[in-house]
């Protein structure tokens, strides 16, 4: 019954195998022939040609000689002389783009004047500059005041032809190396930046391109491009101009500058202005006082790259708005077109038309490979969510989730209205019956809603109906945010505040710190801050509450002779982050990178490095969300409890309410702290109302980066919340305290067991 499986697999390869074996056989047959043929000229020629298919033409005589030379022997060169490279070191460019000769696309020169620089040139800048990499303005007159953000070059000569020549010379001198294309235009022209830049994506820059709106020469054949409508010059044309500009300057006739340029190009390169190149059209529109930018409908206008001449700056903005609309409509119709094409082609795909998924053009829904990666739907209503963090069965919708739900309901009703407008139906929202949503990482957020809507027909009768709608909030374009460069070599100043209550934990902290940092000479330095409350501070002569710890530090310093662990004592009854940092900040260099920790933290090398990488001076501060251990007495059944914090949902949680740890630069701290104090009147003390996080968030321009950090774990210690703290801080401390005990599930179980115990006890009592 069964065919031989090996044959089955081999079958498709049969021709290949036959071919290969044939090839080998023939080769063996041919080899002796060829060897013999070495003396015969014809076959040598063939070999030579075979060996060097694409290389530069060599005279075939040479080649023949080489092959014919029977005496050819390889020579062994002993003691080779190094090739002198003329004593010059090879030049290594700083940027890859320079090294590889990668150029930018387009430099645009705008010919302007002192009178128009403040009016139309600014309008042109505002409507064009964001499309163009390099936009320059050229004027003849000196002493012009450039409007902000505009690169103005003054030549100091008003003669138009001379000014044009100088403009070209300037661009050649400064940008020729780095740019492929040059575009010249006058300032009284509206330029549709999108379309103009699009030209350069479709023509290769090594062609001789001189493109624009043509006008014939008066006294000879050929055309020049009118500068008013913009002139496109390719790299090669600019190169030719660079060489011949002086020659052309000698023949300055009494010409308009654009005509002079056309003549110059005509003379030196024999090229004439074109309005079309390699299938790309250059379209222009002549503006007149009768043109209404908002309603002009002609084809010429709709397709225009430039509109000229324009006198009023407001016309620039009106044109810009109009063209933005036109481009938007084009984009929409193109999307529709592409959708239609996808639909048309779908029957050719393996799945056929069934493979077409909604919405067209967006990744198909994620297909789970096994039951473990099924994406589950979350159920929600208008007020509640039924998939809650921490396993609670039901939680209230608020904040961003609420906005999300309101938004999709609004959108659904609006889409229904759009869709059924033709039938004369209108809809209004009554109630959301069921809502489901899920996040599909390949495409975005998906929703499915059962909506109860009021449907009003053409006869004005209202009916309440149910509609099921599907929505997708697609992932949009991914953006890359460039970040400054940081390294892992920065020295880290670890700051450890210790209060009287923390005393017992310090030994553990120092022990793990020694293992993680001191043993491997990690580039970090620990500073311990002893916080005395006023009473302890008074009695310091009789009894130092931190005496033990100080001797412990001395012990570590002796054990690791290279390590210094400085300590500082401060006195306060409300030890807040700002109070501590105010003192620490002054005692450290401005460029110090601080890591603020607590005694219950377990540091790891990964975390320390992450602190370095995620903190950028003048740019970003890092607030890790630590993994807080639950109370071991509640979550473990038996002693001994593990010595380190175990990672897992039954052992602890990421405490989003705690802001204990922070990584930031001293310089950033100082500027932000000054800023914060400045905004407060009467030197009010803010160190108790703010924590570091709020301070950086509200009073600095830094990115405040907050993220879960599984490598930073905090041992359980009952939190003490100081009622002297500001309301907000005190509140979040209480929440953190309450949620830090154990998960709701574990607590519920404990209560349940406890109740059962009491019940059975009382039953026992009754029985006896
Ligand atoms: C000109 O455009 C540039 C780039 O968009 C902008 O930074 C600058 O402020 C503009 N200048 C004026 C005067 O509009
Ligand atoms: C789709 O296919 C039909 C018939 O094959 C054709 O007439 C139509 O132009 C196509 N539409 C698009 C957008 O390609």
Looking at the structure, do residues 141 and 233 belong to the same domain, yes or no? Answer: yes
H helices then E strands: how many in the chain?
Answer: 24, 28
pLDDT at 226: 94
Q: Is there a contact between 57 and 49 (Cβ–Cβ < 8 Å)? A: no
- Please give the average per-residue pLDDT across 330-339, as a whole number: 94
CB 574 within 8 A of CB 499: no
* Ligand 2 pocket residues where CB is under 6 Å: 340-341, 344
Which among 609, 617, 715, 619 is positioned nearest to 666, based on CA atoms? 617
Residues 537 and 592 in one domain: yes
Q: Are the C-beta atoms of residues 156 and 139 closer than 8 Å to each other?
A: no
For 311, phi then psi, to 5°, come to -105, -40
Could you tell me the two tokens for 502? Answer: 């923390």
Q: φ and ψ at 181, to 5 degrees?
A: -130, 150
Give the total number of structural domains in the chain. Answer: 3
pLDDT tens-digit profile of 199-217? 988 888 788 999 999 999 9
Q: Which residues line ligand 1 (CB under 6 A)?
A: 122, 125-126, 129-130, 147-150
Report the separation in Å between the CA atom of 512 and the middle of ligand 1, taken as the mean of its atom positions: 55
Written as six digits, the tokens of 351 are: 């799945």
Residue 415 reports pLDDT greater than 50: yes
* DSSP H/E element including 7: helix 5-10
pLDDT band at residue 556 using 50, 70 and 90 as cut-offs:
very high
| Structure confidence at residue 47 (pLDDT) | 40
**In this structure, are residues 761 and 755 in contact, taking their beta carbons and an 8 Å threshold?**
no
Residue 403 placed within a domain: yes
| CA dist., res. 417 & res. 425, Å (int) | 7
Q: In 38-159, which ranges are continuous DSSP H helix?
A: 41-51, 60-68, 96-100, 114-117, 120-128
In a domain, 203, yes or no: yes
Which CATH number belongs to the domain containing residue 664 in this structure?
A: 3.90.550
Judgement on whether residues 647 and 676 belong to the same structural domain of the protein: yes
Q: What is the CATH number of the domain that holds 419?
A: 3.10.450
> Rounded distance, CA 549 to CA 569, Å?
12
Q: What is the mean pLDDT of residues 664-692?
A: 85
CATH code of 112's domain: 3.90.550.50
Confidence bin at 685 (pLDDT 50/70/90)? confident
| DSSP classification of residue 514 | I
Instruction: Tell me, yes or no, whether 156 and 241 share the same domain.
Output: yes
Query: 334 C-alpha vs ligand 2 centroid, how far in Å?
Result: 15
Report the range of poorest mean pLDDT among 73-82, 139-148, 753-762.
73-82
Tokens (6 digits) for 87: 């004593």
Query: Is the N-terminal amide bond of 309 cis, ω within 30° of 0?
Result: yes
Asked if residue 451 and residue 509 are part of one domain, the reply reads no
- In this predicted structure, what is the pLDDT of residue 159? 86
Residue 517: DSSP 8-state: I
CA of 344 to the centre of ligand 2 (A): 6
Q: Same domain, yes or no, for 245 and 210? A: yes
CA distance 361 to 355: 12
Cis status of the peptide bond prior to 536, with omega within 30 of 0: no
Q: Rounded distance, CA 335 to CA 706, Å?
A: 38
In this predicted structure, what is the pLDDT of residue 235? 92
Per-residue pLDDT, averaged over 21-47, amounts to: 45
Indicate whether 402 and 547 sit together in one domain: no
The answer to whether residue 72 scores a pLDDT higher than 70 is no
* 710 and 630 within one domain: yes
Distance CA 317, CA 128 (A): 11
Nearest 5°: the CA angle 237, 242, 245 is: 105
Domain end (from 410, 444, 474): 474
What token pair was written down for 518?
A: 């001191």
Q: Which ligand is nearest to the CA of 125?
A: 1
Of 661, 658, 651, the closest CA to residue 737 belongs to 658
Domain that holds residue 455: 374-474
Which ranges of 298-312 would DSSP assign to H, the alpha helix? 299-302
Per-residue tokens: 298: 């002609």
**Lowest pLDDT segment from 80-94, 479-493, 504-518, 642-656:** 80-94
DSSP 87-118: TPPPP--SSHHHHHT--EEEEEEEE--HHHHT
Which of 112, 125, 191 for a ligand 1 pocket mutation test, highest count of atoms within 8 Å of Cβ?
125
Domain boundary, last residue among 281, 297, 320: 320
- Give 678's pLDDT tier (boundaries 50, 70, 90): confident
If you average pLDDT over every residue of the chain, what do you get? 85
Q: What is the pLDDT of residue 216?
A: 94
Give Cα 684 distance to the centre of its chain: 40
764 found inside a domain: no
pLDDT band for position 92 (cuts 50, 70, 90) = low
pLDDT tens track for 430-475: 999 999 999 998 899 999 999 999 999 888 899 999 999 999 999 8
Helix/strand/coil for 179? strand
Higher pLDDT, 353 or 707: 707
**pLDDT (average), residues 141-151:** 84
Residue 758 in domain? no
Q: Ligand 1 pocket check: which of 126, 127, 187 to mutate, most ligand atoms within 8 Å of Cβ?
A: 126
Which residue is closest in CA terms to ligand 1's atom 11? 149
Type and span of the H or E element at 750: helix 744-767
Considering the domain boundaries, does residue 361 fall inside one? no
Provide CB contacts within 8 A for 92, sequence distance 6+: 99
Q: Which residue has the tokens 């080769």?
A: 27
Position 284 in a domain: yes
Indicate if the pLDDT at residue 66 is higher than 80.
Answer: no
- The predicted pLDDT at position 390 comes to 65
Q: Do residues 724 and 581 both lie within one domain?
A: yes
Instruction: Say yes or no: 464 and 497 in one domain.
Output: no
Cis peptide before 640 (omega within 30 of 0): yes
Residue 219: the pLDDT is 84
Q: Which residues pair with 427 in a beta bridge?
A: 455
Q: pLDDT: is 90 or 427 the higher one? A: 427
pLDDT of residue 577 exceeding 80, the answer is yes
Average pLDDT estimate for 490-511: 91
pLDDT number for residue 82 = 58
Q: How confident is the model at residue 276 (pLDDT cuts 50, 70, 90)?
A: very high
Does residue 667 carry a pLDDT above 90?
A: yes
Angle at 683 between CA 680 and CA 686, to 5 degrees: 60
- SS3 at position 231: strand
What's the DSSP call for residue 4? Answer: P
- pLDDT (average), residues 363-389: 89
165 and 219 co-located in one domain: yes
Does 452 lie in the same domain as 547?
A: no
Residue among 668, 695, 704, 491 nearest 590 (CA): 668
Distance, CA of 23 to CA of 16 (rounded, Å)? 10
The pLDDT assigned to 388 comes to: 83
Pocket residue to mutate for ligand 1, from 120, 123, 129, 137, most atoms within 8 A of Cβ: 129
| 137 pLDDT tier (thresholds 50, 70, 90) | very high
pLDDT at 34 over 60: no
pLDDT in tens, 588-621: 999 999 999 999 999 999 999 999 999 999 999 9
Percentage of the chain modeled with pLDDT above 90: 51
Ligand 2, atom 2, lies closest to the CA of 344
Residue 650 lies in a domain: yes
Cα–Cα distance measured from residue 594 to residue 416, given in angstroms and rounded to the nearest whole number: 56
According to DSSP, the β-strands at 378-380 and 280-281 are unpaired
């Amino acid at each position: 019954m069964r065919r031989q499986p090996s044959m089955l697999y081999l079958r498709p390869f049969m021709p290949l195998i036959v071919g290969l074996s044939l090839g080998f056989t023939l080769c063996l047959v041919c080899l002796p022939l060829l060897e013999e043929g070495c003396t015969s000229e014809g076959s040598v020629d063939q070999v030579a040609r075979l060996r060097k298919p694409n290389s530069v033409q060599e005279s075939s005589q040479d080649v023949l000689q080489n092959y014919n030379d029977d005496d050819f022997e390889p020579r062994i060169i002993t003691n080779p002389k190094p090739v002198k490279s003329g004593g010059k070191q090879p030049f290594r460019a700083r940027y890859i783009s320079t090294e590889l000769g990668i150029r930018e696309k387009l430099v645009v020169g705008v010919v302007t004047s002192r009178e128009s620089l403040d009016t139309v040139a600014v309008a042109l800048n505002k409507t064009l500059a964001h499309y163009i990499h390099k936009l320059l303005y050229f004027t003849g007159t000196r002493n012009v005041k450039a409007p902000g953000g505009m690169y103005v070059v003054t030549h100091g000569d008003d003669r138009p032809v001379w000014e044009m020549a100088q403009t070209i010379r300037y661009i050649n001198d400064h940008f020729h190396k780095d740019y492929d294309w040059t575009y010249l235009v006058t300032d009284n022209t509206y330029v549709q930046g999108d379309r103009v830049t699009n030209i350069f994506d479709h023509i290769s820059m090594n062609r001789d391109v001189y493109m624009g709106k043509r006008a014939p020469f008066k006294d000879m054949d050929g055309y020049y491009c009118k500068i008013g409508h913009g002139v496109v010059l390719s790299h090669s044309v600019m190169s030719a101009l660079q060489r011949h500009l002086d020659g052309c300057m000698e023949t300055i006739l009494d010409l308009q500058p654009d005509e002079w340029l056309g003549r110059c190009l005509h003379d030196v390169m024999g090229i004439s202005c074109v309005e079309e190149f390699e299938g790309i059209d250059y379209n222009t529109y002549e503006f007149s006082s009768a043109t209404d930018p908002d309603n002009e409908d002609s084809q010429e206008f709709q397709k225009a790259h430039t509109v000229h001449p324009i006198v009023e700056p407001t016309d620039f903005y009106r044109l810009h708005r109009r063209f933005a609309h036109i481009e938007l409509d084009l984009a929409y119709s193109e999307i529709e077109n592409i959708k239609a094409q996808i639909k048309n082609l779908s029957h050719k795909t393996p799945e056929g038309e069934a493979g077409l998924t909604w919405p067209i053009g967006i990744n198909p829904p994620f297909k789970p490979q096994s039951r473990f990666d099924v994406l589950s739907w979350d159920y929600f209503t208008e007020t509640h969510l039924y998939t809650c963090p921490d396993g609670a069965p039901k939680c209230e919708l608020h904040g961003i989730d609420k906005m999300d739900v309101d938004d999709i309901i609004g959108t659904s009703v609006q889409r229904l209205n759009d869709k059924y407008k033709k039938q004369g139906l209108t809809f209004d929202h009554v109630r959301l019956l069921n809502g489901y949503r899920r996040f599909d990482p390949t495409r975005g957020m998906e929703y499915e809603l059962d909506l109860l809507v009021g449907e009003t027909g053409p006869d004005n009768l209202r009916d309440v109906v149910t509609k099921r709608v599907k929505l997708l909030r697609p992932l949009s374009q991914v953006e890359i945010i460039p970040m400054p460069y940081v390294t892992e070599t920065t020295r880290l100043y670890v700051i450890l505040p210790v209060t009287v209550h923390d005393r017992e934990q310090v030994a553990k902290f120092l022990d793990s710190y020694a293992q993680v940092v001191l043993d491997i000479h990690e580039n970090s330095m620990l500073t311990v801050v002893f916080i005395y409350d006023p009473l302890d501070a008074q009695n310091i002569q009789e009894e130092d509450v931190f005496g033990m710890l100080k001797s412990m530090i001395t012990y570590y310093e002796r054990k690791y002779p290279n390590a210094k662990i400085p300590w500082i004592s401060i006195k306060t009854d409300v030890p807040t982050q700002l109070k501590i940092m105010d003192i620490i900040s002054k005692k450290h260099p401005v460029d110090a990178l601080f890591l603020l920790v607590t005694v219950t933290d377990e540091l790891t090398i990964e975390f320390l490095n992450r602190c370095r990488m995620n903190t950028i001076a003048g740019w970003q501060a890092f607030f890790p969300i630590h993994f807080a251990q639950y109370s071991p007495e509640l979550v473990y059944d038996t002693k001994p409890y593990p010595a380190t914090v175990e990672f897992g949902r039954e052992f602890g949680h990421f405490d989003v309410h705690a802001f204990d740890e922070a990584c930031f630069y001293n310089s950033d701290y100082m500027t932000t702290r000054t800023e914060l104090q400045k905004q407060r009147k009467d030197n009010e003390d803010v160190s108790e109302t703010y924590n570091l996080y709020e301070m950086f968030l509200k009073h600095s321009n830094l990115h405040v980066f907050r993220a879960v950090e599984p490598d930073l774990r905090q041992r359980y210690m009952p939190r003490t919340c100081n009622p002297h703290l500001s309301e907000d801080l005190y509140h979040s401390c209480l929440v953190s305290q309450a949620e830090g005990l154990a998960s709701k599930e574990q607590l519920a179980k404990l209560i349940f067991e406890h109740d059962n115990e009491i019940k059975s006890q009382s039953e026992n009592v009754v029985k006896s």
